[in-house]
Amino acid sequence: MSGARARRSIEAQRTLARRVLVLPTGLFVVVTCLLPLALLFTYSFYRVDFVTIIKEPTLANYWAVVASPTYRKLIAKALLYGGGIAALTAVIAYPLAFFIAKRVRVYKAALLTAMLVPLYTGDLIRIFAWRVVLGAEGVLNSFLQWAGITSQPIWALLFSPFATIVVLTYNYLPFMVIALWASLEALDQAYVEAAMDLGASRTQVFLKVVLPLTSPGLVAGLLMVLVLVAGDYLTPQLVGGSSGVTITSAVHDMFGAAFDWPLGSALAWSLLAALATVVAGAVYAFARSPWGRGLILRGG
Amino acid sequence: MPQGVAAANGAGALLVARGLTKHYGDVQAVRGVDFELPSNGFVTILGPSGCGKTTILRMIGGFESITAGDVTIDGRSLAGMLPNRRPVNTVFQSYALFPHLTVFDNVAFGLRLRRHDRAEVRERVVNALATVQMTAMAMRYPSQLSGGQQQRVALVRAFINEPRLLLLDEPLGALDLKMRRHMQVELKDLQRRLGLTFLYVTHDQEEAFALSDWVIVMNAGRIEQQGPPAAIYHAPDNAFVADFIGGANLVAGTVVAASAERATIDCPFGTVAAAGAEGVAVGQEASLCVRAEHVRIGPEAAACPVRFAARVRHVVFQGNTKTVEARVEGLPIVARVGHGAPVETGETVTMGFADGHLRIVRGVLAPADDEAR
């Protein structure tokens, strides 16, 4: 009886301790993340009259977003680029992550750090570096002409969707590599050996064992890159040329030059909702798939 | 005794290993071993951890390259053959059941790779699961199974592919004692029913003896002795085997006379003549070997040719028997006697080695061997 009470009291203390410890982090998230979003959400229901924000609830902003083919297209474009770049980085990152996780022994940390070095230099510097590479007078065009492969610079290398895709892929590749590397590192070699033992070729080992068992990492990487690319407006703007308009730059314009915070907020929330839907859908589909069920049961 | 194993030239053997060697840099994991496996039998490689037994299994499975020597199955060399092309399947120590697949899909994995049609796969998987009473678990995931159930699934997943040889790497290591005993019976039974060759690796001599037709005892990358369990137990060749298998009493000495079957050793108990192991030669260091159950105490020791007074240090009760640890002039002697034997800790008793159970084996126990246990 008293034992049970003592136990309960210890339980209660633990619960209390856990709550107290979580408090600072929770507070930080609420103040710096949820509060601004909530504010934005509120603003998305206001409207602007010349230079004053009229605080009367209205759905007009959302209607404007939904009714406008331009905004719809821009949101779709953000998701398309996000998904496309995510897929592209995954294809490039798998062999790289596999190499680092399974073949490198001594220089593992060094390689991973080296891969992250470009991230230290900042967005702008990386983007401008690519302008030097891809520009009409740039490294690539100069080389192609010097080698006699082309007689004139290829203008489409820069200020084109191609340039945007190249730079975005380069920019977000490390995130995918890290996500895949972590799950490949955790992949027990015994599964690979078991698959080979049962008669699987290298391709079959990858498709039937490595891919499913690292799919939690893949899903995490895909979602991370998707969200980051969808929110990136510097890269398309600086190397995308006329194709460089994005939903984020539209939001930026609304809060800046256009001074239409409510519409900007509605645009931002529409993008957020679209991304949330995709992310939730992907996670749900994964969790419901036969692979996902097995992995979740294992706690993987 | 399995047929084929005895065939010295390898005729009729399923697998023949000749001079099989594995080096990892400077480490010599396997130092040139020779053995054969029959086409239907249960063979165990027994040895302490780090003796190279798992490495041999992995070389046969194709997960380690062969440094030197060769392994053939049905006369075909395995060197350079990819694991997925070898006519062997492995039951891994960790089971390595694919966590993202159900029991059914795990078991069907190999069959599907060989492009059997759906109906056939289904029928064979269901039948195979039935042989280990796992049909009801077909739709579960590995993480929902107990250790013993996972073990069975791993077994079925391997043998359903009808390999020529099934490799088992300490498959019962993770199970509790009761489950181990149960699975040992099932394994042996399964091997008989399937009629294929099991190559089993363990460090547990009781398990090796319970299961095997043929035991290969390894130490430090070499084969110390191989033969049927009874021969290994009753007629060990050298001090390592005598000690590793059932922990015999070993008294170091020097061989003073040796003929074909008999030898005489000069040891702290005097000059003793006994059965001699193969290769025991005059002038060599050797050990007088006597099993604990062949050490007599008190009046029973009267008829023994070797008798001495020893001080009893411990008496360990073991149900029907008790184990007596005694010391004579610093030399430890272990005896296993009936539970009624009148012996108490601290006493000085007369002990003796029973006639007809003494054996002189090659070598003396190195301290390293002691640690390896």
- With contact defined as beta carbons under 8 Å apart, do B324 and B281 qualify? no
**What does CATH list as the number for B15-233?**
3.40.50.300
- With contact defined as beta carbons under 8 Å apart, do A143 and A59 qualify? no
Mean pLDDT to the nearest integer, B225-253: 92
Residue B5, pLDDT score:
47
Q: For residue B82, what is the nearest residue in chain A, using CA coordinates?
A: A196
Summarize pLDDT for B57-102 with one digit per residue, the tens: 999 999 999 999 999 999 999 988 999 999 999 999 999 999 999 9
pLDDT at B8 over 70: no
Mean pLDDT to the nearest integer, B258-270: 90
3 state SS for B131-159: HCCCHHHCCCCHHHCCHHHHHHHHHHHHH
Question: Across the 300 residues of chain A, what is the mean pLDDT of every consecutive 10-residue run?
Answer: 71 88 92 92 90 87 93 94 96 94 89 86 88 85 86 83 93 94 94 96 94 92 94 90 87 88 93 93 88 78
- With contact defined as beta carbons under 8 Å apart, do B76 and B164 qualify? no
Q: How confident is the model at residue B10 (pLDDT cuts 50, 70, 90)?
A: very low
- How far off is chain A from B253, nearest CA to CA, in Å? 47
Contact flag A188-B113 (C-beta cutoff 8 Å): no
* Minimum-distance CB partner of A197 among B83, B99, B105: B83
Residue A137, pLDDT score:
81
Residue A3, pLDDT score:
67
Task: Tell me which residues of chain A, numbers 166 to 205, contact chain B at a CB-CB cutoff of 8 Å.
Answer: 188, 190-191, 193-201, 204
CA distance B358 to B296: 13
Mean pLDDT to the nearest integer, B299-328: 90
- With contact defined as beta carbons under 8 Å apart, do A160 and A235 qualify? no
- With contact defined as beta carbons under 8 Å apart, do B114 and B122 qualify? no
Q: For residue A188, what is the nearest residue in chain B, using CA coordinates?
A: B96
Contacts of A77 (CB under 8 A, 6+ apart): A246, A247
Q: For residue B114, what is the nearest residue in chain A, using CA coordinates?
A: A199
In chain B, residues with a C-beta closer than 8 Å to the C-beta of A204 are 113
- With contact defined as beta carbons under 8 Å apart, do B163 and B15 qualify? no
Least confident of A9-13, B193-197, B282-286: A9-13
Fold type of domain B304-353? OB fold (Dihydrolipoamide Acetyltransferase, E2P) (2.40.50)
In chain A, residues with a C-beta closer than 8 Å to the C-beta of B96 are 188, 190-191, 193-194
Q: How many other CB atoms are there within 10 angstroms of residue B106's CB atom?
A: 27
pTM of the predicted structure, to 2 decimals: 0.82
Contacts of B318 (CB under 8 A, 6+ apart): none
Fold match between B15-233 and B246-290+356-373?
no
- With contact defined as beta carbons under 8 Å apart, do B227 and B36 qualify? no
Residue B176, pLDDT score:
86
What are the beta bridge partners of residue B160?
Answer: none
- With contact defined as beta carbons under 8 Å apart, do B275 and B237 qualify? no
Residue B355, pLDDT score:
84
**Structural domains in chain A plus CATH codes:** 69-298 (1.10.3720.10)
In chain A, residues with a C-beta closer than 8 Å to the C-beta of B105 are 290
Determine which of B24, B57, B59, B100 to mutate to test the interface with A (most A C-beta atoms within 10 Å). B100
Cα dihedral: A200, A206, A207, A212 (round 10): 120
Tokens found for residue B134: 């796992």
Q: How confident is the model at residue B367 (pLDDT cuts 50, 70, 90)?
A: low
- With contact defined as beta carbons under 8 Å apart, do A179 and A98 qualify? no
- Percent composition of chain A: helix, strand, coil (DSSP 3-state, to 5): 80, 0, 20
Mean pLDDT to the nearest integer, B288-295: 93
Fold type of domain B246-290+356-373? OB fold (Dihydrolipoamide Acetyltransferase, E2P) (2.40.50)
Residue B115, pLDDT score:
82
Q: How confident is the model at residue B6 (pLDDT cuts 50, 70, 90)?
A: very low
- With contact defined as beta carbons under 8 Å apart, do A234 and A124 qualify? yes
CA B364, distance to chain mean position in Å, is 21
Q: Where are the domains of chain B?
A: 15-233, 246-290+356-373, 304-353
Which ranges in B132-262 belong to alpha helices (H)? 147-159, 177-194, 205-211, 229-234, 239-244
Four-residue CA torsion sign, A288, A289, A292, A294: positive
Mean pLDDT to the nearest integer, B129-144: 92
Residue A54, pLDDT score:
86
In chain A, residues with a C-beta closer than 8 Å to the C-beta of B82 are 196
Contact flag B83-A213 (C-beta cutoff 8 Å): no
- The β-bridge relationship of strands B321-328 and B27-37 is unpaired
Q: What is the rounded average pLDDT for all residues in chain B?
A: 90
